[in-house]
Amino acid sequence: MLIYNVTINIDDSVHEDWLIWMRDKHIPDMLATQKFLEAKMCRVMVEEEMGGTTYSIQYKTPDRETLERYYQEDAERMRSEGNRLFPNKFVAFRTELEIINEQTL
């Protein structure tokens, strides 16, 4: 199991619109690719020197092959909408995490 993590710092001037778009459009569209099992959106609890608000969006995917298919089939389309709607208003970086152990109460 892997997590595809997208960390985004969004400018205050578009924060509310971006947050609505993420919750109501982008994350559901990501899940609709059927390459992710679930998504979790978290606010990063840090004051950024550059301003804005930082979020981590974590998409759980079953394996490397499924994530590679996302990159090949969907990633460009999914990224382009955010770039079109919020040009020059965010900085994003992506990381891949391998889940080693999960425990719940």
Domain spans of the chain, in order of start = 2-97
Residue 57: how many other CB atoms lie within 10 Å: 19
**Sole residue written with tokens 């090949």:** 72
Q: In this structure, are residues 54 and 44 in contact, taking their beta carbons and an 8 Å threshold?
A: yes
Q: What number is the average pLDDT over the span 77-83?
A: 95
In this structure, which topology does domain 2-97 adopt according to CATH? Alpha-Beta Plaits (3.30.70)
Q: What number is the average pLDDT over the span 10-27?
A: 97
Q: What number is the average pLDDT over the span 51-56?
A: 96
| pLDDT of 49 above 90 | no
- What's the whole-number average pLDDT of the chain? 96
Name which of 6, 24, 21, 14 is nearest 89 in CA terms. 14
What pLDDT sits at residue 27?
98
Within 7-74, residue ranges assigned H as helices are: 15-21, 27-32, 64-73
- Residue 58's region, left for phi above 0, alpha for psi from -120 to 50, else beta, is beta
Q: What number is the average pLDDT over the span 70-81?
A: 96
Predicted TM-score (pTM) of this structure: 0.93
